[in-house]
């Protein structure tokens, strides 16, 4: 049976190191690694946080039929006043 599919994978592990350690199959790595996109963690790109917060706020406001109220103070908090993100699972 002929199948046309696309597989999207993500990991926070160093797969090249896993191959050397023998805990990840080399042939699978090369099959999956046709196109590699390296995306830095969100903590290294805090300028993206207000855009993501706005996107999810608008999305869930529509989904649950609630008014979407954006406030500058909230966006400033999400951007991090001390150079780090303050939204989500943050530790102070």
Residue boundaries of the structural domains of the chain = 42-79
B/e letters for 51-80, b = 16+ CB within 10 Å, e = fewer, are eebeeebeeeeeeeeeeeeeeeeebebbbe
pTM across the whole model:
0.51
> How confident is residue 32, by pLDDT bands cut at 50, 70 and 90?
confident
Q: Residue 19 burial by CB count (10 A; 0-12/13-18/19+): exposed, middle or buried?
A: middle
pLDDT, tens only, 33-62: 888 888 888 999 999 998 998 899 889 988
Q: Find out whether 19 and 26 touch, Cβ atoms under 8 Å.
A: yes
């Amino acid at each position: 049976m002929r199948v046309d599919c696309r597989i999207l994978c993500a990991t926070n592990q160093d797969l090249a190191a896993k191959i050397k350690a023998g805990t990840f199959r080399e042939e699978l790595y090369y099959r999956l690694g046709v196109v590699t996109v390296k995306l830095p963690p969100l903590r290294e790109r805090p300028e993206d946080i207000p855009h993501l917060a706005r996107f999810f706020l608008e999305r869930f406001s529509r989904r649950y039929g609630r008014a979407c109220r954006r406030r500058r103070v909230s966006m400033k908090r999400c951007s991090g006043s001390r150079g780090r993100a303050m939204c989500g699972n943050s530790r102070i």
